[in-house]
Amino acid sequence: MSYLHGYKAEEHERLENQANYLQEAIHETVDFSNRKSLLEIGCGTGAQGRVILEKFSELKYTGIDISTIQINKASKIFESIELKKRTSFKQITQNKFPLENNRFDSAFICWVLEHAKNPTQVIKETHRVLQKNAVLYVTEVYNRSFFLNTITPSILQYWNCYNEYQINNGGNPNIGIELGQILSNCGFKNISTKPLIIHVDKRNKKERFEALEYWRNLLLSAKQNLLTNNLIDQKLLANFKSDYEEIMKNEETIFFYSAIQMKCFK
Ligand SMILES: C[S@@+](CC[C@H](N)C(=O)[O-])C[C@H]1O[C@@H](n2cnc3c(N)ncnc32)[C@H](O)[C@@H]1O
């Protein structure tokens, strides 16, 4: 089994859209002012890194990821932009960072530990390469918080398969709720939690449309892997798509989801 979302061109586009859609929520209170060296673990195509570098002009950025495909894409994208001078990218093997101790004064992890086979080891490595008093922000999924009042059997089945795939693949779709314990076990201090809540209904139709659209793209990014591994078939996929069209049109649809962001210090 392979990485839930896959590494196709559409996934690069989805990560860019995701970073844009959730930018305000994720980055609102993330503060790297007075920090000089940032490590992003699981940088993907660099979508979050770009937001951070644009906001904090003093920061030098190192992005690491287990995927050569992502690292190559990220390097290529940054090649053509001014921010390139402040960045470097490195491919890593699972859970081992080729970086010396106490090197960075800040770190950022976003939507990564849910895929990691050993998230504690990733956090231990992060702790090792950070300087004393360095700040770390981690943002992760908590899929049990998902609520959709107009859900249908096909959407529910697709959602369950999506989560099952991740668990079968060694990941954890509810890692967000465990972050506090993991960070604390690895020696991080002053840990604080910020829930990132999407709660939309008929009060704001535009926001509801955007949230549902975002969610659909997220779920469909896994479709090829779910099909290949026989967790879903074409019939379920077709039903999921048509039911989803209906819930998007339904006046009464309420959608809720809460991701979890943690801030802590070494
Ligand atoms: C959903 S993407 C998020 C990318 C980026 N953080 C963002 O928000 O745009 C998850 C990334 O984590 C990487 N990844 C998965 N497990 C990892 C691990 N153990 N260490 C480092 N990167 C990992 C994947 O290759 C993928 O690029």
CA 134–ligand 1 middle distance (angstroms): 21
CB 131 within 8 A of CB 240: no
Residue 79 pLDDT: 81
Q: Does residue 41 have its Cβ closer than 6 Å to ligand 1?
A: yes
* 155's tokens: 């959407």
Q: What type of residue is 86? A: R
Regarding pTM above 0.75, the answer is yes
CB 92 within 8 A of CB 121: no
Residue 1 pLDDT: 58
CA separation (Å) from 210 to 63, 204, 216, 256?
29, 10, 10, 13
Q: Does residue 171 have its Cβ closer than 6 Å to ligand 1?
A: no
- The residue extents of the domains of the chain are 9-265
Residue 27 pLDDT: 96
Residue 23 pLDDT: 84
Residue 164 pLDDT: 96
Residue 16 pLDDT: 72
Q: Does residue 66 have its Cβ closer than 6 Å to ligand 1?
A: yes
Indicate the CATH number for domain 9-265: 3.40.50.150
Which residues of the chain, if any, have pLDDT below 70?
Answer: 1, 14, 19
Predicted confidence (pLDDT) per residue in 62-93, tens digit: 999 999 999 998 988 888 777 888 999 999 98
Residue 78 pLDDT: 81
Query: How far is 20 from 39, CA to CA, in rounded Å?
Result: 20
Q: Does residue 73 have its Cβ closer than 6 Å to ligand 1?
A: no
Q: Which residues contact 259 (CB under 8 A, 6 or more apart)?
A: 139, 140, 141, 142, 176, 195, 196
Residue 83 pLDDT: 80
